Amino acid sequence: MKHVLLAAAMSLGVAGAAWAADPLEGTWKTEVDDGSYAHIDIAPCGAALCGVIARSFNGSGEYRSENQGKTLVIDMVPKGDGSYAGKVWRPSNDKIYIGKMDLDGNTVALRGCVAGGLICSKQTWSRVN
C-alpha cells in the first residue's frame, strides 16, 4: 500500500511540474526603440510562448499605439538553461526575424537575427510582473 501511495504522490508531483508556468511568462518592459517602449505580455500559445504588446509608452507617458494587441514574440520554445528560440517582429520596420531569448532572473536578453542567426540586434527587457 505504501508503494501505491508513493507512486501516486510522485505522479502528481510530475504532473504538477508539467502544469507549472514557464518562468518567461509574465509582463516585460522593452528597451526604448524609436522613442517608445512597451509592456509585453508573454503567455502560452499552443505548445510555445508568445508575447503581445499590452501597453505603449513614449516621452509623454502612456499612449494608445496602433501596435497594441499585436504579437511581437512569436512561437518561442524553451531550449533549456533559460534559452528560447522562435521569431520576433519589429514594429518599426514590420519585419520578422529569427528570435532568441535568454532568461536571467528578472531580465531577458532578446535577439532578432538574420543570416541564419549570425547577425543579431539585441535588447534587454526587465520583468514588470
The 3 state secondary structure assigned to 41-70 is EEEEECCEEEEEEEEEEECCEEECCCCCCC
For 106-121, write each residue's pLDDT tens digit. Answer: 999 999 998 877 888 9
- The pLDDT mean for the chain works out to 86
Asked whether residue 12 is domain-assigned, the answer is no
Q: Please tell me the total count of domains within the chain.
A: 1
Residue 7: pLDDT band by 50, 70, 90 thresholds? very low
Q: What is the pLDDT of residue 10?
A: 38
128 vs 10, more confident: 128
Would 6 be classed as within a structural domain? no
- DSSP 8-state code for residue 20: S
Q: Which burial class, exposed, middle or buried, applies to 30 when counting CB atoms under 10 A from its CB (0-12, 13-18, 19+)?
A: buried
In angstroms, what CA-CA distances link 96 with 4, 73, 74, 114? Answer: 51, 10, 9, 10
Between 56 and 118, residue with greater pLDDT: 56
> What pLDDT shows up at residue 19?
57
CB-based contacts of 97, cutoff 8 Å, min separation 6: 87, 88, 89, 90, 112, 113, 114, 121
In this prediction, residues 83-96 reach a mean pLDDT of 93
Specify the CATH number for the domain of residue 77. 2.40.128.520
At residue 30, the 3 state secondary structure works out as: coil
Q: Would residue 57 count as lying in a domain? A: yes
The answer as to whether 18 is a domain residue is no
For residue 11, is pLDDT > 80?
no
What domain range includes position 83? 23-127
* Residue 95: predicted pLDDT: 92
